[in-house]
Amino acid sequence: MRKCLQNIAFTALAIVFLSWLVRLYDSSLRDPSFFSGWILFTGMAAQWLLHFRKQLPMLPLGRAATWLKTHIYFGYFVIAVFLLHTDFSMPDNWFEWVLWSLFMLVAASGVIGAYLSWSVPAKLEQYSGPKTFESIPAIRYRLAEKAGRLALSSVDQSGSLAISNIYADTLRDFFVRPQNLLAHLRGSQRSVKQICDELKTLERHVDEAGKKTLRSIRNLALAKDKLDFQHAHQGLLQCWLFIHIPATYCLIVAVILHVSIIYAYSSGAP
């Protein structure tokens, strides 16, 4: 925690220092947006280096954890530089809107991603589940298969269609595909409780063998619910990168265009 506060304090100091520099530049009657613009450009290029560190694990470039930490804190600094560069004002034309939107998308997805990377693993740990996102469909298939087999076997055992009917009407969809992902992200367990209630209510209408089958199906439903929880949260951990990275590439193109246009029409202003 102390280290974290130190890093925040250092970043804040750097931001204050930079704003003082920009003001100093402004007081010398030069256009400060060129100065802040190039700092912003350098900062964004430096942020991009994390990508190269990841591509070159065989080189002694230091630990990726240190790189990421620097990327996050430097990211806050770059956001401050952007605000100084835009003078805390909204864009004037459509191209500036594109630039502004892309930067905000990259910055917001990065900040959200950093928060998710910090908070979600601990939530995942609450429910023991598969350790890899890729293994979730296979586990889901196995659970659905078991539940289907139990429902069918109940017909042979007691001749009653009660369990197989509730499976066909309510449970089949629940088992075969991801369910209640948004509810899991909200922390709601209403859906699985509803299913468990229905199964428990049915218990009073069936024989002993049926009760045992229902208890087994209920356990499978709880396991499926945990799997959906894992799916929702692990998916979230992967999902933010699908915004952050493509938006970064679009931003790079837009920034190059922006710099080219500025210099094309600036007549070599400082």
Partner 1 sequence: MRPDVVSNLLSLPFFRDIDGCDFPEDLPLATILANDGRILRYERGDIVYRSGEFNSSIFIVLSGSVYSATSPRSEAAISLALTNKGSNGVPRSEDFIRRLGSLLSTPKSGSSNSKATGQRNTSRISDIEPLIAGDLADRIGPNDIFGECEALTSSARANTHLAGDDETLILELRWPGAREIRHWSDNFRQLVDTRYRQRSLWIALRSSALFEHLDDSALRSIANYCLFETYGALDWTHRYQRERTADHGGTHIAAQEDIIAEQNHYLDDIILIHSGFVRMSKTFERSEKTLGYGSPGDVIGLEELKDSAGSGVPLHLRHSVRATGYADIIRIPARIVEKYVLETASSAQAGKIIPAANSTSESWLNFTIDNRFINGTQAMMIDLNRCVNCDECIRACAATHDNIPRFVRQGPSHQNLMITHACMHCADPVCLTDCPTGAIHRDAKSGNVIINDATCIGCATCANACPYDNIRMEEVRNADGAFHIDSDGVHIARATKCDFCTGLRNGPACQQACPHNALIRVDMRDTRAITEWLDYTH
The pair of structure tokens assigned to 1 is 């925690």
Q: Name the residue nearer to partner 1 (CB basis): 72 or 247.
A: 72
- Name the residue with tokens 């970043």: 11
Does 25 participate in binding partner 1 (rule CB under 8 A)? Answer: no
Compute the least distance from the CB of residue 59 to partner 1, in Å: 7
Q: Minimum distance from CB of 172 to partner 1 (Å)?
A: 29
Number of residues that bind partner 1 (CB under 8 A): 33
CB of 233 to partner 1, least distance (A): 10
Which residues between 153 and 182 bind partner 1 (CB under 8 A)? none
Binding to partner 1 by residue 118, rule CB under 8 A?
Answer: yes
**Shortest distance, CB of residue 8 to partner 1, whole angstroms?**
10
User: What residue ranges in 186-248 does DSSP mark as E strands?
Assistant: none
CA distance 254 to 261: 10
List 61, 185, 202, 252, residue binding partner 1 (CB under 8 A): 61
What whole-number distance in Å separates Cα of residue 211 and Cα of residue 18? 70
Distance CA 244, CA 113 (A): 8
Q: Tell me which residues in 229-248 interact with partner 1 (CB under 8 A).
A: 234, 237-238
Give the residue with the Cβ less far from partner 1, 25 or 133. Answer: 133
4 binds partner 1 (CB under 8 A): yes
Residue closer to partner 1, measured from CB, 121 or 246: 121
Helix (H, G, I), strand (E, B) or coil at 150: helix
Distances (CA, A) of 163 to 59, 154, 169, 191, 199: 60, 7, 10, 19, 9
- Residue 51 CB, nearest approach to partner 1 (Å): 12
Cβ-count burial of 217 within 10 angstroms (0-12 exposed, 13-18 middle, 19+ buried)? buried
Q: How far is the CB of 2 from partner 1 (least distance, A)?
A: 8
Q: Do you know the residue count of the chain? A: 270
| Closest to 112 in 3D by CA, of 247, 243, 246 | 243
Angle between the 2-27 and 32-55 helix axes, to the nearest 10 degrees?
150
Using the minimum distance from each CB to partner 1, give the nearer residue, 175 or 240: 240
Residue 10: Cβ within 10 Å count: 12
Q: Choose, by CB under 8 A, the member of 127, 133, 146, 170 that binds partner 1.
A: 133
Residue 70 binds partner 1 (CB under 8 A): no
Query: Alpha carbon of 146 to those of 92, 127, 221, 223: distances in Å?
Result: 60, 21, 11, 12
> Which lies closer to partner 1 via its Cβ, residue 224 or residue 231?
231
In the DSSP assignment, the letter for residue 29 is T
Find the part of the chain contacting partner 1 (CB under 8 A) among 94-102, 119-127, 139-147, 211-219.
119-127
Note the residues at the interface with partner 1 (CB under 8 A).
Answer: 1, 3-4, 7, 54, 57-65, 67-69, 72, 116-118, 120-122, 124-125, 128, 131-133, 234, 237-238
